[in-house]
Amino acid sequence: MFLNLLKISLPTTFAFFLALLVTPIATHFFYKYKMWKRYSRSTTTANSTFAKIHNGQEELKTPRVGGIIIWLSALLTTLVFYLLSILFPSAGTEKMNFLSRNQTLIPFFTLLLGSLIGLWDDLMQIYGTGKFAHDDKAWRKWKVFLVTSISFLIGCWFFYKLGMTTLHIPFGGELYFGIFIIPFFIIVALATFSGGVIDGIDGLSGGVLGCIFAAYSVIAYANHQVNLAAFSGVIAGVILAFLWFNIPPARFYMGETGIMGLTITLATFAFLTNSVFILPIIALPLVITSGSVILQLLSKKFRNGKKIFKLAPIHHHFEAIGWSPAKVTMRFWILSIVFSIIGVILVVISR
């Protein structure tokens, strides 16, 4: 047990300090090359309420690719411990290596691929011209297509390579999906990706996602998936380092390169730990955020333009009714901590 806990805590701690070291270098690079949006959201929306609470000029001075720090530090940490086991083979280094085919290979490449596609999206917003630089609806459809494509490949890996055909229902046994586990994974991945709209206030997405990945580290450990627990801990560790520099006023935003990679990877953790049906509880802030957007759109469409919220996503609604950004962020963090704990408890007692 001690060695397993060390296998989780050592890479997590290493990842945290590595990200702290990487961040000043990355930040210098971000500002040197002016890696922020060319067009503010407040200049592309007719909503005067949003313009009042959102500092569009600040958005044009803050880099939007901070997620690079997260996935780069997580992947470097993984490779460091893997290379140590190869270059200096011993019982200790081999024990610390947490890169494995059946547990962490898919999350590793999911994080890398999703983050690189997200980086492409960010670079379009930074250096692109034309309608795509304004995050046009057509480009958003392409993002959905790309997430669907990645999810299809991962779903195929689960079914054909890992032989995954059933999912655990809390307190209810196993539910057989067969090959339909592939489209179901696509649905879950798209749902978690839609929760990425939570990246709208300094520190909000980092705190929420950090809690979620920490929860999945505990769940994986409880499932005796120590490698997966270590990788999830590493991601939580680098997000914590990201938050060190992202506390208001943020020095950079997470951007799509952080959100896309992390949300799709989160879906893979839910499947690999067989806790998909607990995911909505653990990730409740993401569910609430995404749900508020869906409800707002449906209300405007079927109620002659009437809105449920002053603004959507819901964190902007709270800002619009007078809450400070710090109050919104802190309360979302508290909710995330509480429901992450509840989710972990439910997973453990429902086995």
Task: Give the C-alpha separation, 157 to 160, whole Å.
Answer: 5
**Does the pLDDT at position 46 exceed 90?**
no
Tell me the per-residue pLDDT of 263-291, one tens digit each, with 9 for 90 and over: 999 999 999 999 999 999 999 999 999 99
DSSP bridge partners of 339: none
Q: What is the pLDDT of residue 140?
A: 77
Containing 169, the helix (H) or strand (E) segment is: strand 166-169
**Does the pLDDT at position 234 exceed 50?**
yes
Range(s) of the domain holding residue 29? 2-349
Task: Work out the pLDDT band at 44, boundaries 50, 70, 90.
Answer: very low
Cα-Cα-Cα-Cα dihedral sign, residues 39, 114, 119, 255: positive
Task: Work out the pLDDT band at 49, boundaries 50, 70, 90.
Answer: low
pTM across the whole model:
0.93
245-260 CB burial, b ≥16 within 10 A, e <16: bbeeebbbbbbbbbbb
Domains identified in the chain, total number: 1
Tell me the per-residue pLDDT of 311-325, one tens digit each, with 9 for 90 and over: 999 999 999 999 999
**Does the pLDDT at position 53 exceed 70?**
no
Least confident of 6-10, 54-58, 227-231, 339-343: 54-58
Q: Calculate ∠ Cα 279-285-287, nearest 5°.
A: 60
Q: Cβ distance 66 to 189 under 8 Å?
A: no
Q: What is the pLDDT of residue 105?
A: 93
**Overall average pLDDT of the 210-219 stretch:** 97
Best-predicted range by mean pLDDT among 60-69, 205-214, 245-254, 303-312?
205-214
Q: What is the pLDDT of residue 266?
A: 97
Give how far Cα 144 sits from Cα of 118, 121, 148, 193, 248, Å: 11, 12, 6, 9, 30
Looking only at Cα atoms, what is the longest distance across the chain? 68
